[in-house]
Amino acid sequence: MEFTQQNANQNTIISFDDLTITLYHSKLSPPCFISSNESKELPSLKITEIDKEFLFPLLSKESIDLLIIGTGSSPVFLSPKQQISLSEIGLGVECMNNVSACSSFNLLLGDLRKVGLLIL
């Protein structure tokens, strides 16, 4: 899927498919993390492995208020225990399919929101 963006941030998602996420300046393979100032590929990752300890190195470099998690072709949700744990550190989390996740990330990034995207 391709996106059209008028005022592209360096980490705006231009297009993606099952194997590649194309940013304004580079390409990544899932799983990966993207924010306004950072983009990096991650080791193999399952949604059950997402917790404060996993996210700390990603979030320590940049202040993020909302983490969007793209879970593939259909949404898969965090457990209540994971949600509570992440809310304790002041992080809002939304899980959705990859199309919605990438679109939402671009929209919020364009509005200069403190948002991060984790594509599994």
Here the CATH number for the domain that contains residue 58 is 3.40.1230.10
pTM of the model: 0.90
Confirm whether 1 is domain-assigned: no
Q: What is the pLDDT of residue 42?
A: 96
In a domain, 61, yes or no: yes
Domain region containing 26: 13-119
Per-residue three-class SS string for 47-91:
HHHCCHHHHHHHHCCCCCCEEEEECCCCCCCCCHHHHHHHHCCCC
Query: According to the model, what pLDDT value does residue 52 have?
Result: 93
Q: Which residues of the chain have pLDDT under 70?
A: 1-8
Count of structural domains within the chain = 1
* Nearest by Cα to 94 from 72, 119, 60, 66: 66
- Looking at the domain assignment, is residue 8 inside a domain? no
- For 55, 71, 93, the CA distances from 120, given in Å and listed in that order, are 13, 5, 14
Q: Is 21 part of a structural domain of the chain?
A: yes
